[in-house]
Amino acid sequence: MSDTTKSRTKYALVTGAARRIGACIAEALHQRGCNVFLHYHRSGDAVSRLAEKLNARRTDSATIVQADLGADDDIEHLAAHVRAHTEQLDLLVNNASRFFPTGVGSTTPSQWDELMGSNLRGAYFLTQALLPALASAGGSVVNLLDIHASRPMRGHAVYCMAKAGLQMMTLALAKDLGPQIRVNGVAPGAILWSEQDSGSQDQQGIRQRILKKTVMGRAGEPQDIASAVVYLGLDAAYVTGQVLAVDGGRSLNI
């Protein structure tokens, strides 16, 4: 490896980077020396605070860009923003996701489009738009999946189907894009409870049943996911087409 390659600034794009797991992933990549593109859809205030914090640590190391990943023009706008800053993208993290229940028999086309668009379609077409930059860097893609991509969750059929599609996309693109670009996935278990979780007694009971089936006996932390993303995205030079479950062993008991 040449001195020029060693000294080149690495760039990473994290979708859904404003809050929760996405923000933690962005911070972890930034700590590893990456300049980060912080994508957001609606959480403008949160992403601005994150960018300000990261830029205070290292000047001009974080930029923000708004896009609706369900809109083709917005996907191209996001890709163009990256290309305007660098010809080489070392890591794309497809983290953005929508999550809500859908009842079989009452699912609407708009619910289908929203879940499929945010979890699968947007990730595919964004990856496609950034292929030249990823290939130029010898970069990688990490997709945020879900243990329910392969083991369905009651009442969430469309979400599970979308994540299952993203899991197959991970495997298929790893085969199609190698050896220039590596593609892997991280499948979280119980890390952060859903924002739709009211904290009611019923919801608390559900939480306890989930944790009882988790070998580690507790929920995980966003940093657990961020560490897995950093490993697969930056360190695992001979790993592609793999899905790493970060679930405390919960998938053993589903």
- Is residue 159 part of the annotated active site? The answer reads yes
Handedness of CA 211, 215, 217, 221 (dihedral sign): negative
Answer for the pair 243, 145: CB distance below 8 angstroms, yes or no: yes
The residues, ordered by sequence, that sit 6+ positions from 236 with a Cβ below 8 Å of its Cβ are 182, 184
d(CA 165, CA 119): 9
Answer for the pair 143, 94: CB distance below 8 angstroms, yes or no: yes
d(CA 207, CA 194): 11
d(CA 93, CA 19): 14
Catalytic residue selected from 11, 159, 231, 238: 159
Which amino acid belongs to residue 141?
Answer: V
Which amino acid belongs to residue 212?
Answer: K
Beta bridge partners of 63: 37
* 62-66/91-94 β-pairing: unpaired
Q: So which residues are the catalytic ones? A: 159
